Amino acid sequence: MAIHKIKFFTGRNSRYLAEKIVASYGTTLGDSEVLCFSDGEFQPRFNESIRGCTVFLIQSTFPPTDNLMELLMLADAAKRASAHQVIAVMPYFGWARQDRKDCPRVPIGAKLVANMLQAAGIDRVMTMDLHADQIQGFFDIPVDALYASGIFIPYLRSLNIPDLSIASPDMGGAKRANSYAKLLEAPIIISHKERAKANVVGSMTAIGDVEGRNIVIVDDMIDTAGTICMAANMLMDKGAKSVRAAITHPVLSGKAYERINESALQEVITTDTIPLNPEKDTHKFTVLSVADIFADVIERVHNYKPVSPVFFK
């Protein structure tokens, strides 16, 4: 089977991660630029031939709007430049929380994004820790949904935490927490929350043994950090020895950094799918890179090797 030449490109806000991924793969980024107009319109451009190439576009969609549009336009440009195949590497998939109609007269944003990516000419998507695994079914193209547990589990084992328990910050994350608990041979705790409104938690309680445990809360993202901080404080109030968090996507909007620094959280272990704000106090954060995982999967996909060995839940 013929293997086409591979080229990597990135959007503007994901260059920091794209450079790590291509370095891990053993190559460099292709030459591209974005022409910006005074009204906010922009035009991506490839400055080298990609005819007949397998093109990997590395772009996390944070904040989602401009970065998604840039990815769509890069894909369209690649197709029009006769690329053999266009693969979107989206470490953070924006709009993933909108995976269903949870109230009347609202969109299903994740499905809309899937439709737009396919309409733009994307042939395959690689992402990590989707908010809901069923989003893969919104696509009619292959989706490689990777798991950050592949880097979180070894790190947590290296800490040799005694009396370890794994916690979910809500009922929706119970499956993820259970996977971590099995791999770490630790008991599980489920936090039950009631939301007053979007991004605002009304009340919270814990299901499971908390007293005397060193607890790691696992989740796919931190946005305003309201839930995770409330859970950490609640668990400490119930007698936990310590509380850490292992969160894949550090969205960290609003006063999230301040809430984390004021909370009972001892450490927040996260990844570089989204960069931390360099102007904020990040002394509680430990950042693990996803570059090697994505580079490995890219190599396997490009050379028609099985991807299943990388899936570490």
* Strand pairing category for 85-90 and 164-168: unpaired
Q: Check pLDDT > 90 for residue 63.
A: no
**Residue 171 confidence (pLDDT):** 82
Q: Over the stretch 232-287, which tens digit does the pLDDT of each residue have?
A: 999 999 999 999 999 999 999 999 999 999 999 999 999 999 999 999 999 999 99
- Local structure of residue 260 (DSSP, 8 states): H
**Residue 2 confidence (pLDDT):** 60
pLDDT band, very low/low/confident/very high, at 200 (cuts 50, 70, 90): low
**Residue 170 confidence (pLDDT):** 82
**Residue 199 confidence (pLDDT):** 52
Region 66-95: mean pLDDT is 97
Region 127-154: mean pLDDT is 95
- Tokens describing residue 301: 């996909």
| pTM (predicted TM-score) | 0.93
Q: Over the stretch 272-292, which tens digit does the pLDDT of each residue have?
A: 999 999 999 999 999 999 999
- Local structure of residue 232 (DSSP, 8 states): H
- For residue 154, CA distances in Å to 20, 23, 183, 250, 273 come to 20, 22, 10, 20, 18
Region 52-81: mean pLDDT is 94
| Integer Cα distance of 221 and 168 in angstroms | 12
Q: Check pLDDT > 80 for residue 132.
A: yes
**Residue 50 confidence (pLDDT):** 98
| Integer Cα distance of 59 and 85 in angstroms | 16
Q: % helix / strand / coil in the chain, to the nearest 5? A: 35, 25, 40
**Residue 102 confidence (pLDDT):** 86
| Integer Cα distance of 288 and 248 in angstroms | 9
Reported as type and span, the H/E element at residue 122 is none
Q: Check pLDDT > 90 for residue 172.
A: no
Q: Over the stretch 15-58, which tens digit does the pLDDT of each residue have?
A: 999 999 999 999 999 999 999 999 989 999 999 999 999 999 99
The one catalytic residue in 20, 111, 193, 241 is 193
Of residues 133 and 284, more confidence is placed in: 284
What mean pLDDT, rounded, does the chain reach? 93
**Residue 313 confidence (pLDDT):** 47
Strand order in the sheet with 267-271: 200-207, 188-197, 164-168, 214-222, 242-250, 267-271, 285-288
**Residue 253 confidence (pLDDT):** 95
| Integer Cα distance of 8 and 14 in angstroms | 12
Q: Check pLDDT > 80 for residue 194.
A: no
Region 187-212: mean pLDDT is 77
pLDDT band, very low/low/confident/very high, at 7 (cuts 50, 70, 90): very high
**Is 175 a residue of the active site?**
no
Q: Return the percentage of the chain with pLDDT > 70, whole number.
A: 95
